[in-house]
Amino acid sequence: MNFNFKKLMSYYEPHKKTLFFDLFFAVVAELIAVAIPIILRYITDEVIFFERDVAYRSIFVLSLIIIIMLAIRYVCTYCIMYYGHLMGSKIENDMKGEIFWHLQKLSHKFYDNKKVGELMSRITTDLYEISEFMHHFPEAILSMVVRITGVFTVLCIVNWKLAIVTVWIVPVVYIYAIWIIKKISASWKNNLDKISSVNSQIEDSLTGIRVVKSFANENLEMKKFKAQIKISLEAKSKHLKFWAVGFSGIFSLLLLYSPFLIVTGSILTLNNLLQLKDLMIFVIYEFILIGPMFEFIDLIEMMGRSFAGYDRFIEILEIQPDISKNSEGFEFKNVGGSVSIKNVIFRYENTAKNVLENFNLSVKAGEYVALIGSSGAGKSTVCSLIPRFYDVSSGEILIDGVNVKNIKLDSLRKSIGFVQQDTFLFSGTVAENIKYGKPDATDEEIIEAAKNAYAHEFIMNFPNEYETYVGPRGIKLSGGQKQRIAIARVFLKNPPILIFDEATSSLDNESEKYIQRSMEKLAENRTTIVIAHRLSTIKNSERILVMAGGKIIEEGTHDELLAKKGMYTEFYSFL
């Protein structure tokens, strides 16, 4: 288990004031709970022997004091619930912020191996369990310590022999509880892993719901879902067995305590070592003592779930970004845009074969270059290495003569505009999606970018124009409309280097013409690298590079490559 107790406790630091109020009211509430039986004992042991009038006045005054104490305890309980839950919510938000920011820093390689459903489970379910424990734990522990200490002190004053004989229940329960926590935590972690798998299955099915329906595979998805649910239920069943064994044991110990106390007290009473009225005080305090132990049972289960969730939380935080941001690196300014790739070898994680093998490419500043080749040739990999979505296995990539590893990552990526085949739009308005290229852009700049991308006309035909809601992933827009908004976003970003990764491959001819025009306008005076299956989109490139097996095998203009009658000619003949 990746348990770091010191780090866990550090989350209280920003909320010390809220924690103080929570614990203060918890202590007051417990002191009142311990004090009331003392007052009742005083009434039955002393006051009833006063003179009649004095006894009545004393009973009235003491009863009023008890009522006031109960009213104070009511206020304390309210404050404990308010401040405790408020602190738990604040800590949960802090943790969400920490893990969300950490996830932002992790590279493409991490997301290649993780599903969104699993990550969402860690951000929501796991952190909720942790926050619940974080707000209950300090008040529960302090309350138990105050109550047990107070009760034991009073019982020692009443009869120290019986107090020592009967206090065994406390250490036995807590030692047993430690063993239970370990078992529950391990089984709950396994259960959380299975829940994450279920969430991932749901995510896959719902994200691809149009594919599911197009193949009429709803029943297949249901079968896959039921299989995951069955595995999850088995893990939950194992967890519940540990939970049932553990808590039935603790519950039995607590039930055993009452007869043990009464039998032991009765023996002491028969031997004139304990007065009957004192035995009754022990019985009253038994309920006060056992109360927090029953609460501790709930805390133990909560602790087990929380530790499992915290373990998964730390697992993510301990994953170090494999792409260094290089905060001390070179700050890109006045970028010319020349790109040089030298002797690059690259393979993806957990694969034996190199995708690129001693790959070399030089692109001049402002040059328009196209990459073509069959699937798996390495075209998209080349484009992913330039902005350091992945790092090369060996070799180097230079921009304006500077190794990209020596450039600040934010500075590098702000210098590159990336338009992909699978355009992603956020669930928001058209304006918000265009503005993503420049968060502080004015409305005039947004409209100008849309006009440059040939998107303004269709946007103005929407009912709400630029305030039109595009839906999750831009689902309410056509492929061509999404692409033009994505290009408008890059226009607004205004980078010196452009990469188009098959930006027109899935579009109809009319949409392609619009996209082609906006791409050519955007590419003016910028270094541009285009990947395309449709050769019509790259015929006018200054250079066309044909790739196969991770290498460039042909190079030249459209006419030069046709004259060679090589692989480019084969590609062209299929059109």
Confidence of residue 44 (pLDDT cuts 50, 70, 90): confident
The dihedrals phi and psi of 396, each to the nearest 5 degrees, come to: -150, 155
Q: Which of 87, 192, 171, 100 is nearest to 132 (CA)?
A: 87
Tens-digit pLDDT profile for residues 368-394: 888 888 777 788 888 888 888 888 888
What was the pLDDT predicted at 441? 84
Helices 52-105, 276-317: axis angle to 10 degrees equals: 10
Please give the Cα distance from 514 to 35 (Å, whole number). Answer: 82
pLDDT above 70: residue 214? no
Tens-digit pLDDT profile for residues 292-315: 666 776 777 677 777 777 887 888
* 81's tokens: 């619930």
Burial class of residue 96, CB neighbours in 10 A (0-12, 13-18, 19+): middle
Confidence of residue 179 (pLDDT cuts 50, 70, 90): confident
Looking at the chain, the number of H-run helices and the number of E-run strands are 19, 10
Please give the Cα distance from 405 to 291 (Å, whole number). Answer: 61
Higher pLDDT, 234 or 414: 414
Please give the Cα distance from 91 to 130 (Å, whole number). Answer: 9
Percentage of the chain beyond pLDDT 90 is 1
* Strand-pair partners of 344: 359
| HSE value, Cβ hemisphere, 13 Å, CA-based, for 63 | 8
The alpha-carbon radius of gyration of the chain (Å, integer) is 35
Please give the Cα distance from 72 to 33 (Å, whole number). Answer: 11
Q: Is 420 helix (H, G, I), strand (E, B) or coil?
A: strand
- Given a contact cutoff of 8 angstroms between Cβ atoms, the answer to whether 184 and 242 are in contact is yes
Please give the Cα distance from 229 to 194 (Å, whole number). Answer: 8
What was the pLDDT predicted at 405? 86
The dihedrals phi and psi of 446, each to the nearest 5 degrees, come to: -65, -45
User: Model pTM?
Assistant: 0.70
What was the pLDDT predicted at 520? 72
Q: Which of 42, 36, 70, 72 is nearest to 58 (CA)?
A: 42
Residue type, 425: L
Percentage of the chain beyond pLDDT 70 is 83
* Residue 449 vs residues 122, 423, 521: alpha-carbon distances, Å: 38, 17, 11
pLDDT above 70: residue 54? yes
Q: List the domains of the chain with CATH numbers.
A: 86-317 (1.20.1560.10), 339-573 (3.40.50.300)
Residue listed under structure tokens 């338009």: 419
What was the pLDDT predicted at 302? 75
Please compute the mean of the pLDDT values over residues 106-134 and round it to a whole number. 77
pLDDT, mean over the chain: 78
Confidence of residue 49 (pLDDT cuts 50, 70, 90): low
The DSSP 8-state label assigned to residue 407 in this structure reads B
CA 569, 571, 572, 575 dihedral sign is positive
Q: What DSSP string runs through 493-559?
A: H--SEEEEESTTTTS-HHHHHHHHHHHHHHHTTSEEEEE-S-GGGTTT-SEEEEEETTEEEEEE-HH
- Given a contact cutoff of 8 angstroms between Cβ atoms, the answer to whether 198 and 229 are in contact is yes
What's the distance, CA 181 to chain centroid? Answer: 24
Most confident of 25-34, 345-354, 515-524: 25-34
pLDDT above 70: residue 210? no
* Residue 222 vs residues 120, 160, 216, 219: alpha-carbon distances, Å: 21, 65, 12, 5
Please give the Cα distance from 558 to 541 (Å, whole number). Answer: 8
pLDDT above 70: residue 406? yes
Confidence of residue 72 (pLDDT cuts 50, 70, 90): very high
What was the pLDDT predicted at 82? 87
* Strand-pair partners of 498: 417, 528
Please give the Cα distance from 528 to 543 (Å, whole number). Answer: 11
What was the pLDDT predicted at 203? 64
Please compute the mean of the pLDDT values over residues 435-459 and round it to a whole number. 84
Sheet with strand 416-420: strands edge to edge: 416-420, 497-501, 527-531, 368-373, 543-548, 551-556
Residue listed under structure tokens 């999606």: 433
- Given a contact cutoff of 8 angstroms between Cβ atoms, the answer to whether 385 and 344 are in contact is yes
pLDDT above 70: residue 7? yes
* Residue 394 vs residues 174, 265, 358, 388, 390: alpha-carbon distances, Å: 56, 80, 9, 13, 12
Please, what's the b/e burial string for 490-508 (b: 16 or more CB within 10 A of its CB; e: otherwise)? bbbbebbbbbbbbbbeebe
- Given a contact cutoff of 8 angstroms between Cβ atoms, the answer to whether 278 and 136 are in contact is no
Least confident of 280-289, 353-362, 457-466: 280-289
